[in-house]
Structure 1
Amino acid sequence: MRWPRRLSIRVRLTAGTLIIAAVFFAGTAVVVHRQVESILRSSSVMLLQGDAAQYQQEISDGRTSNLDTPAQGQLVAVIDPAGKVMQSSLPGELEPQLPTLAAGGTAVQDVRTPAAQYLVLARPVTTNEGVWQVVTARNEAASKLSLDNLTRALLWGLVILTLLFGVGSWLLASAALRPVTAMRRTAERLRGSSSVELLPVGPAHDELYYLATTLNELIGQLRASADREKQLVSDASHELRTPLAILQTQLELAHLSTGDPAALLGEIESAERTVQRLSALAASLLELTRIEGMTSHEATGYAELADELVDAIDRARLLSSDSDVVVDYEIVDAGLLPGVAALSGVAVVPGAAGMPGVAASPGTPAMSGASAMSGAAATSGAAAVSGGVAESTGSTLPVASPPRTTPSGDPAPQSIVEPPGDAAPAVASVRDEAYDLSRRSFGRVIDNLLGNAVVAVSSVPAPGRRGEADSLGVGGRERDASIERDAAGTAAVVRDATLARDAAGTVRATLRRGPDAVTLEITDTGPGMSPDFIPLAFDRFAREDESRGGSRPGSRGAGLGLSIVQALVSSAGGTVTMTNRRPRGLSVVVTIPSSTGTPAAAGSPPATVSHPANHSRPAPPPAASSQDNTA
């Protein structure tokens, strides 16, 4: 029965109404017919009883010898106890059946003859002489004629009412579907033109109103998507045009330098760098497209996110180890992490017997080695890490680390952290949650934001080294969009670390788990970002350069880093916000909702892992706002 589906909605509605109306009116006609038939039969029975009552009374009074003659139209027969017919006005076709009718009892009998149909009633009357029988009959031709007329009227009424309902249903369906027709015609016009027209929305807040509203929202999103694609093609063409022109010039210069091997080698190396930039740009665009097309997500627990943050801090500290940029972090609700990167990013120098361990200043090269020994190899049952010291209920593996010095050559201050009192470190009894962001993607978000922050802080020179920093051409948040944990990503981070060398400032990462979301906040003491550029920071190829009102020349990045960050976070249902801090600096907050919705256990205060900065230095001087959306 697939053919009804091929019919239009109007036809299906009308056909359905016709069927329902026909069934309803047919049922009504049957009920009415039966009721009228019952009423007519009851009337006939009452008339029969009335005809018989007169003769029953006469027989009971003993006037059997002088019975009244039946009136005109009365069909009555009186039979004495001997079986003799004393009085009869029955038609001749019923006379032969009279004995049978008299013996039929007191029930009403239907008797059909070739000429007519009769309703017969027999009533016995008991006297001293015996039992008399009074038989009355009525011709049902009149009742049958009335029923036939009623049946014809009901049939005509059924047909007429059904047709009227069908016409009314057709008109109502046409009126109800008129807005749909208008929307279809408008959609046909939109398909064949570049008009900004939307589908018409009716005044009534009915289903068609909500359908038109939803479709208009969809049209708006599709137009915005098409505009973004056009803008992407335009921006990508603009971004590719410059390096391709440079590459062409370099190759032309290489042809001119065939007689000078050194110059030829320099042009070839320059061309290789240009090709690398093009490859990075293409890889970033492909990665961004892949992220935006993801349909499934890998769930990651809070413990893994915290462990990834510690690893990212290790990488950032390692890359900023030759500068004055201090990278620290804080993990709230760290009681979830019994043994998570217990020594990751931390180098512990053992003290004398009975003395607490002393943590070297975070960021020394030895940290990466300590990170590799995180977990059971480093500590047994580690509960928290604070200020670079691993606290545990078991033994601590000593890791040597060279002391760190300040720019003036003096030893950097060390932080010593002891457990409060004699109590063992408390571990919060809470359950882990899952978030729709893989550990790798979360690490990429952190690497990008930390790299941006480190390079931004590098634009604020350390006291006495402003000239050196300026000579490096340091400026803004520059980060390769394809940063990974492989060799290519490491090379990009090393490049940014070179820019950050000899700069002063602090970068801090805070990971905090709320009742239904996890929040990552990256703050720095850099120059901040132009307020006019913040709304554009997450756009593709957006860079805060002179063309966008920045206070410095454009950076070397492609302007895809923050776009990738936003795409990764948005794919997990999260948000990214960016605000300037006072008196200076930038704060980037990433919020990722929980995919499990499992709340933390009540009554368990959040534990905290805190790695404060261990450098003592004057506050960096204010600098002009200048940050980039780079990878």
Structure 2
Amino acid sequence: MFFRRLSIRARITIGSLIVAIIVSGGGLLAVRANVQWILQGADYSLANGDLLSFAKDILSNPGEGVDSPAAGVLLLVKDPSGVVKVDTMPHDLSELIRHGLADSDKIRTTDEGTSYVIVSRTVTNDRGEWTLWAARSAAASDLAVDGLDRSLLIGELVLLLVFGVASWLLATAALRPVSRLRKEAESLSGDAGEELLPVGPAEDEISALATTLNAFLERVRASTEREKQMVSDAAHELRTPLAALRTQLELAHDSFDDPAALAAEVRGAEDSVARLSALANGLLELSRLEGSPAERRPATSAALVDEAMGSVDRARLLGLARSVEVGFDTDDLDPADRFSIAPEAFARVLDNLLSNAIAAVGPDGSVELTIRETAEGIEVQVSDDGPGIPPSFLPVAFDRFSRPDDSRTASTGGSGLGLALVRAIAESAGGTAQLHNGDVGAIATVRIPRIGPSRKM
């Protein structure tokens, strides 16, 4: 928990020091062990050298006695009968050997604070088996190892100090672009603009972070701009029906003595309230779809066809008032195929497209709904024999509150949200929505992808 509270720079430095301690400590211990092994090997070699000359003398002159060793040579020799012929060992070492404790050919022991290495050898001549021991003081080796320990310890501390400072400086240099990025981010605003975070020339993690933050900033700005535009459009759209409603209510106050006029004004006010309610519901649904699309609930072909038939029935009732004929044609769809759209959302798409088409055609016109299954999914087309769509309107047809000239919707009092809802629903299901003019009238096409491969061969 404490480590998590530290800054990234401190964590990098501490982590680097821990790694350095483990690596360098292991290396220094290996160096010390190797030097100590070399020094001990040298001591054993010198002690073996002391034995060699006496062993040769015993082998070449079995009838003669053993010569006394030179000064400083520590030697103990036993003849075949066990009698000690030569003993220049310190007392404790001599006692150790005499009592048979030195049963190995190489041992290391301590006598009165001084370390010795002892080697032994047996030599056989005509008189029998001789046993020889030689010892060498390891004090010089111990002093050398002690000096090496101090040097290694000082070197380790200096190395860790240098490594820690270097790690701190490198971490500071590595995080400097992050600090600059943070300061740049603090200076930016969430409003729409051209300012973005600087992306460095190197293709590293900092550049990737800056690119990701820029993409996030652009999404936030776009979302903010959409919200501002929606509020502005909604205020503009609400102003007219609210003004009309207020006027109708004022006129209703003046018509208390005329029941027929009062009833007419109340019916007009009800129409204005219905329009306001439809506009508010459309805005709410569109905001939900654009802000956080709902979880896709797949539907089968059979469920979508059922919804389509219900939409056609509603459209035919709507078309009766204008003598508009509504036709319906569909392929023989596989009822088990599944598509990434909920049935009720599919019905909303069809209701909007059909009602728009009915409003566009004149009396005795016709509207046709066609549903086809493609290799990718399902395709819905709503065509009419009306006057078509002005070419200038096609690029903005799916925008909120957009309306063509009075050739299509001026008489209907629509809010301009129908096609925007169609596109939002289609895109939230992973599909597309398109609008274009045909040879006669307009054609709206919506495609919804299939979930999984087609079962058709």
Note whether the superposition's TM-score is higher than 0.5. Answer: yes
Per-residue displacement from partner, 1:467-504 (whole Å, max 9, x unpaired)? Answer: xxxxxxxxxxxxxxxxxxxxxxxxxxxxxxxxxxx233
The within-5 A match list for 1:523-542 is 523-542=383-402
Whether contact under 8 Å (1:545, 1:555) holds in the other structure is no
Q: Which amino acid aligns with 1:55?
A: F
Match of 1:579 among 426, 436, 440: 436
Per-residue displacement from partner, 1:604-631 (whole Å, max 9, x unpaired)? Answer: xxxxxxxxxxxxxxxxxxxxxxxxxxxx
Whether contact under 8 Å (1:250, 1:267) holds in the other structure is yes
Match of 1:568 among 399, 403, 425: 425
Secondary structure, in 3 states, of the residue corresponding to 2:99? helix
1:557 Cα deviation (Å)? 0.8
The within-5 A match list for 1:457-606 is 457-458=361-362, 502-504=363-365, 506-545=366-405, 556-581=413-438, 583-594=439-450, 596-602=451-457
User: Is the alpha carbon distance of 1:264 and 1:93 closer, same or farther for their aligned partners in structure 2, counting shifts above 3 Å?
Assistant: closer
1:552 Cα deviation (Å)? 8.7
User: Is the alpha carbon distance of 1:47 and 1:554 closer, same or farther for their aligned partners in structure 2, counting shifts above 3 Å?
Assistant: farther
In structure 1, what is the equivalent of residue 212 of structure 2? 214
User: Is the alpha carbon distance of 1:5 and 1:321 closer, same or farther for their aligned partners in structure 2, counting shifts above 3 Å?
Assistant: same
In structure 1, what is the equivalent of residue 341 of structure 2? 437
Per-residue displacement from partner, 1:36-78 (whole Å, max 9, x unpaired)? Answer: 2222222222222222111111100116636455345432233
Whether contact under 8 Å (1:182, 1:200) holds in the other structure is no
Whether contact under 8 Å (1:515, 1:600) holds in the other structure is no
Whether contact under 8 Å (2:360, 2:387) holds in the other structure is yes
In structure 1, what is the equivalent of residue 125 of structure 2? 127
Unaligned runs of 5+ in 2: none
Whether contact under 8 Å (2:105, 2:121) holds in the other structure is no
Distance 1:530 1:176 in 2: 58
Whether contact under 8 Å (2:359, 2:412) holds in the other structure is no
1:515 Cα deviation (Å)? 3.4
1:442 Cα deviation (Å)? 0.6
Secondary structure, in 3 states, of the residue corresponding to 1:507? strand
Secondary structure, in 3 states, of the residue corresponding to 1:336? coil
Per-residue displacement from partner, 1:376-395 (whole Å, max 9, x unpaired)? Answer: xxxxxxxxxxxxxxxxxxxx
Secondary structure, in 3 states, of the residue corresponding to 1:527? coil
Report whether the alignment pairs 1:100 with 2:4.
no
User: Is the alpha carbon distance of 1:540 and 1:64 closer, same or farther for their aligned partners in structure 2, counting shifts above 3 Å?
Assistant: farther
In structure 2, what is the equivalent of residue 25 of structure 1? 24
Distance 1:194 1:316 in 2: 42
Secondary structure, in 3 states, of the residue corresponding to 1:538? coil
1:551 Cα deviation (Å)? 9.3
Deviates most, 311-320 or 170-179? 311-320
Distance 2:202 2:288 in 1: 42
User: Is the alpha carbon distance of 1:326 and 1:100 closer, same or farther for their aligned partners in structure 2, counting shifts above 3 Å?
Assistant: same
Per-residue displacement from partner, 1:194-248 (whole Å, max 9, x unpaired)? Answer: 7652222222222222222122111111111111111111111111111222222
Per-residue displacement from partner, 1:251-285 (whole Å, max 9, x unpaired)? Answer: 33334444544333333332222222222222222
Whether contact under 8 Å (2:76, 2:94) holds in the other structure is no
User: Is the alpha carbon distance of 1:329 and 1:3 closer, same or farther for their aligned partners in structure 2, counting shifts above 3 Å?
Assistant: same
Secondary structure, in 3 states, of the residue corresponding to 1:320? helix
Whether contact under 8 Å (1:79, 1:132) holds in the other structure is yes
User: Is the alpha carbon distance of 1:160 and 1:127 closer, same or farther for their aligned partners in structure 2, counting shifts above 3 Å?
Assistant: same
Distance 1:192 1:434 in 2: 41
Secondary structure, in 3 states, of the residue corresponding to 2:151? helix
Distance 1:27 1:79 in 2: 45
Whether contact under 8 Å (2:192, 2:225) holds in the other structure is no
Distance 2:338 2:306 in 1: 14
Match of 1:175 among 173, 176, 186: 173
Whether contact under 8 Å (1:542, 1:560) holds in the other structure is yes
Whether contact under 8 Å (1:516, 1:597) holds in the other structure is no
Report whether the alignment pairs 1:78 with 2:98.
no
Report whether the alignment pairs 1:90 with 2:89.
yes
TM-score (structure 2 length as normaliser):
0.91
In structure 2, what is the equivalent of residue 157 of structure 1? 155
Q: Which amino acid aligns with 1:543?
A: R
Match of 1:454 among 358, 377, 384: 358
1:324 Cα deviation (Å)? 6.0
Distance 1:324 1:267 in 2: 29
Greater helix content: 2
In structure 1, what is the equivalent of residue 142 of structure 2? 144
Deviates most, 239-248 or 257-266? 257-266
In structure 2, what is the equivalent of residue 41 of structure 1? 40
User: Is the alpha carbon distance of 1:49 and 1:21 closer, same or farther for their aligned partners in structure 2, counting shifts above 3 Å?
Assistant: same
Paired residues in the alignment total 456
Distance 2:456 2:269 in 1: 59
Deviates most, 557-566 or 174-183? 174-183
Q: Which amino acid aligns with 1:452?
A: N
Per-residue displacement from partner, 1:344-383 (whole Å, max 9, x unpaired)? Answer: xxxxxxxxxxxxxxxxxxxxxxxxxxxxxxxxxxxxxxxx
In structure 2, what is the equivalent of residue 406 of structure 1? none
In structure 2, what is the equivalent of residue 465 of structure 1? none
User: Is the alpha carbon distance of 1:590 and 1:259 closer, same or farther for their aligned partners in structure 2, counting shifts above 3 Å?
Assistant: same
User: Is the alpha carbon distance of 1:71 and 1:532 closer, same or farther for their aligned partners in structure 2, counting shifts above 3 Å?
Assistant: farther
Distance 2:280 2:252 in 1: 25
In structure 2, what is the equivalent of residue 56 of structure 1? 55
Q: Which amino acid aligns with 1:42?
A: G
1:151 Cα deviation (Å)? 1.7
Work out the percentage of aligned pairs sharing the same amino acid: 43
Secondary structure, in 3 states, of the residue corresponding to 1:131? strand
Whether contact under 8 Å (2:379, 2:447) holds in the other structure is yes
Distance 1:202 1:555 in 2: 55
Distance 1:3 1:268 in 2: 71
User: Is the alpha carbon distance of 1:163 and 1:516 closer, same or farther for their aligned partners in structure 2, counting shifts above 3 Å?
Assistant: farther
Distance 1:219 1:573 in 2: 24
Distance 1:554 1:322 in 2: 14
In structure 1, what is the equivalent of residue 273 of structure 2? 275
Distance 1:145 1:68 in 2: 33
Whether contact under 8 Å (2:389, 2:408) holds in the other structure is no
Distance 1:22 1:115 in 2: 33
User: Is the alpha carbon distance of 1:248 and 1:312 closer, same or farther for their aligned partners in structure 2, counting shifts above 3 Å?
Assistant: closer
Q: Which amino acid aligns with 1:590?
A: V
Whether contact under 8 Å (2:361, 2:387) holds in the other structure is yes
Per-residue displacement from partner, 1:284-318 (whole Å, max 9, x unpaired)? Answer: 22232344445323321122112222332233334
Deviates most, 226-235 or 260-269? 260-269
User: Is the alpha carbon distance of 1:303 and 1:100 closer, same or farther for their aligned partners in structure 2, counting shifts above 3 Å?
Assistant: same
User: Is the alpha carbon distance of 1:163 and 1:132 closer, same or farther for their aligned partners in structure 2, counting shifts above 3 Å?
Assistant: same
In structure 2, what is the equivalent of residue 308 of structure 1? 307
User: Is the alpha carbon distance of 1:558 and 1:217 closer, same or farther for their aligned partners in structure 2, counting shifts above 3 Å?
Assistant: same
Secondary structure, in 3 states, of the residue corresponding to 2:281? helix
Secondary structure, in 3 states, of the residue corresponding to 1:210? helix
Distance 1:308 1:255 in 2: 45
1:445 Cα deviation (Å)? 0.5
Secondary structure, in 3 states, of the residue corresponding to 2:361? helix
User: Is the alpha carbon distance of 1:37 and 1:260 closer, same or farther for their aligned partners in structure 2, counting shifts above 3 Å?
Assistant: same
Secondary structure, in 3 states, of the residue corresponding to 1:330? strand
User: Is the alpha carbon distance of 1:186 and 1:194 closer, same or farther for their aligned partners in structure 2, counting shifts above 3 Å?
Assistant: farther
Unaligned runs of 5+ in 1: 338-431, 459-501, 603-631
Q: With CA pairs under 8 Å and 6+ residues apart, which has the higher RCO, 1 or 2?
A: 1
